[in-house]
Chain A
Amino acid sequence: MEAITLDFAVAPGRDDLDLVERHRRGDPAAFDEVYARHGRMVYSLALRLAGDPEEAADLTQDIFLRVFRHLGGFRGRSSLKTWVYQVGLNQCRSRLGRKRPDQQPLAEEGAEGVAPLPDRGRGPEELALAADASRRVAAALGRLPLVFREAVVLRDIEGLSYEEIGEVLELAPGTVRSRIARGREQLRDLLGGVA
């Protein structure tokens, strides 16, 4: 069995602080760099939490606008990455919190499970199956309560450590564990068992 652990430095690197300092001094290239480093993770987070590419695009824009406005106040108590996640998550929550979690129905409700992921060198049919599987997983994610969705997205899609997730969500380690476990469990049930 394979235990997957991705370790990230939680403390801010000198690099983070330098970047922030350059931003404070009004260097526009500093923010460009922040966007280049964290744009993908923010968009991905927004996409998986919101479940809609257009909304994710709007959210990404809003999130970075907030990051731009508040970056000067970043004091380095966490890494810049977890701080940006935090900003992003708050923005997503404020928009998604108003929606019911079941607003995004499963693409094919009642269908049996999710097709196994095809190997490399797959043909058109397999590619179509993979795309379909991806849609169904994304739709199932959309039906998870937001607190569990956040936890599994941060863990399994974004690859954050439990410690980082605790920082981003401001939760105790035990709660992080519990949310990830329950999120996975519910998702498994929603997907009807993953072969």
Chain B
Amino acid sequence: MSGHLNTETLSAYLDGELAAGVAAPLGAHLTACADCTARLEDLQATAATLRNLERPGPPLAVGERLRRQLAAERQRRQRPLWLDALLPWRSLQPGLAAAALVFVTALLVVTHFERVATRNAEMAAGKSEMRSLEEREREAAAAPTVELPPALRTPAERAEPGTRADSQASVTTQEVAEAGETQSADAALEQPADAVSAQAAAAPASPQAARSGVSAAGAPRDFSRVVRERTAAERTFVSTGGRWLERGLALEAGPVEQVERAEPLSMELLRRWPDLGVLLQDRVPLPVRMRYGERILELQP
């Protein structure tokens, strides 16, 4: 054999990873070549240095920590799926988190105006039990404007920043009221939204409702599925996916005073508002529309 052996060959030879037919002539060369032998010994010494390094086992604390972690993991696996929806923070997509933040902000603003509206309504309640459609429309038009955040606006509203964000919602409210009148509130809560919406769709729609039935983007906006809230004090989550969500998103968070306190989106907040978690987990098909007093917010995908 002429010349010298390359490092790769020497290294594989050292490890006995060369085929016998190749290794034998190399052995003969090494006996004769001091240079290759010296390099081989260098490699051997390096490998031996590594082999002589201590190979410790994991500290006991690692086993302990792992055991605790696995216990939690096992428990999580046994937990029903819906409970995971209450702890969505870890799996939140940044976009959804931003949408949630916008949504929460909108909710706080709307809740404030709603309180004002509720007070006004209570004061007016004694005057007339049954108002005409025209009266209700006038009142809706005069309701305080809440500028919805961009994420909650319809494409048409986004295209026309000057458009009153509440115009569509207030119109829809009429429809909601009519839908609610077609059945008892208790029955509504016991039925899936699809069944309710079938009844709601049978109710006569106001001209404004017909107008709001199609957005500027051409997508149908089927507000007939929005179901009337059970009482004036409670809120109802409504999904277009034909499924009831927990009602009372706002009220379950605590007294109104607490809701109005500005809070950053946090794990704690999500725990208190499981519905928000449900939405963010995308377990409910979006868009989801939520009715708050005189307004309907739409959370878009």
Contact = CB atoms under 8 A, between A and B. Distances in A.
Interface of A: 1-5, 28, 31, 35, 39-40, 42-44, 47-48, 53, 56-57, 60-61, 64-65, 68-69, 114, 117, 133-134, 137-138, 141, 152-153, 155-157, 159, 161-162, 177-178, 180-182, 184-185, 187-188, 191, 193-195
B14 interface: yes
Contact of B62 (A60, A138, A187, A195): A60
A40 B15 CA distance: 23
Contact of B12 (A65, A138, A177): A177
Contacts of B42: 188, 193-194
Contact of A31 (B16, B17, B58, B70): B70
Contact of A181 (B12, B30, B57, B65): B12
Contacts of A69: 73
B118 interface: no
B47 A156 contact: yes
A60 B12 CA distance: 30
Contacts of B55: 40, 44, 157
A114 B53 CA distance: 13
Given A185-B7, A187-B50, A191-B49, A44 B13 contact: no
Interface in B1-59: 7-8, 10-17, 30, 40, 42-59
B131 interface: no
Given A39-B63, A194-B42, A177 B11 contact: yes
Nearest to A58: B62
Contact of B11 (A28, A159, A184, A193): A184
